[in-house]
Amino acid sequence: MRTLVTGGAGFVGSHIVEALLTAGHEVLVVDNLATGSRSNLAPQAQFRLVDITNRDELRAAFAEYRPEVVLHQAAQTLVAASTSDPIRDSEINVVGTLNMLEAAGQAGVRKIIFASSGGTVYGNPERQPVVETEPLRPISPYGVSKVAGEHYIRVLCERLGMVYTNLRYGNVYGPRDIPASQHVITAFLHAIDRGSQPVIEWDGEQSKDYVYAADVAQANLLALNLGDDESFNIGSGSEISVNSIFKLICRLAGVEVDPIRAPKRSGDVRRFTLDCTRADRLLNWRPATSFQDGLRATVDFYLGTKAVHAATS
């Protein structure tokens, strides 16, 4: 199958590209390399240096390649950045998504798989674990942009003769993330690797649903042929606090360090756990990686021999 992955040179996108190639699909990656890297990509993946906000270049890339399925991962992903500059956030996440939809419709794409955000589109839900029918009440501009993306995809896919699947990710972690993402696990490991003090914002008792990147990639792979015109939570179905994650990382890394305490990050939610029953039933997807195994692999990736030594000493 001919697939196109926007943002495919980034953290989550590169894991999706890897899964697609392993399954025997053709892949074109469209990325501006603002946060991604060519080094994340296998040589079998084709690559075009294109920004999704560049309407003409995006249409040209789609028209030349003519994919059957588009996996739209490219986005501005920082909640704090969306709060400080919501216009820029919407230019990338809303207008960029509209550019993608236009290009896909003109190129005869069959399906769009959209990376939404289970951690932000629901806001502070009244019930946990959160099911897909929970009202979408985001409390950050980033969450608003993801909700808008879902609605534009639903409305325009019907008009343009395409189907879609929205995947609402939990907090994704794993190899190839970068410190600029401000994801807590990556931030902790980056600080430890530099010999500096990790920062814990709020009181550290905020508790979230964490899902391993390879499991997210598998959900995208299954959505190529399943889950048409549906939205799915993609998470672990459980939650763990930031303080607990910090203790586990220190143990795996073999370090003892006191964190710096910082104020609450704007737009952060107190807790969320995703109910993934629908993904199990309709996508035949469930997380295959336990948090302990995924965290150990992530620590090994970032700290290498330091972590291995700590685990065996």
Express each pLDDT in 201-226 by its tens digit. Answer: 999 999 999 999 999 999 999 999 99
Eight-class DSSP state of 240:
E
pLDDT for res 307: 58
The number of beta carbons lying within 10 Å of the beta carbon of residue 275 is: 20
Mean pLDDT calculated for residue range 82-105: 97
Mean pLDDT (the chain) is 96
Q: Confidence band (pLDDT; 50, 70, 90) for 267?
A: confident
Tell me, yes or no, whether 300 and 216 share the same domain: no
pTM, full prediction: 0.96
Tell me, yes or no, whether 245 and 256 share the same domain: yes
pLDDT for res 211: 98
At residue 278's C-alpha, the angle toward residues 277 and 281, to 5°, is 90
Q: Confidence band (pLDDT; 50, 70, 90) for 313?
A: very low
124 is a domain residue: yes
Q: Are 7 and 19 in contact (CB under 8 A)?
A: no
Mean pLDDT calculated for residue range 131-156: 97
Q: Which residues are catalytic?
A: 142
16 is a domain residue: yes
Tell me, yes or no, whether 149 and 48 share the same domain: yes
pLDDT > 80? residue 311: no
Tell me, yes or no, whether 96 and 153 share the same domain: yes
Amino acid at 50: V
Q: Are 191 and 223 in contact (CB under 8 A)?
A: no
31 is a domain residue: yes
Exposure of 11 in the CB half-sphere (CA atoms within 13 A): 23
The number of beta carbons lying within 10 Å of the beta carbon of residue 277 is: 15
**Containing structural domain, residue 166:** 2-172+212-234
275 is a domain residue: no
Tell me, yes or no, whether 196 and 133 share the same domain: no
Alpha-carbon gap, residue 142 to 123, rounded angstroms: 11
CATH number at residue 304: 3.90.25.10
272 is a domain residue: no
pLDDT in tens, 224-256: 999 999 999 999 999 999 999 999 999 999 999
List C-alpha distances in Å: 216 to 210, 295, 304, 309: 11, 15, 23, 29
- Number of domains into which the chain is organized: 2
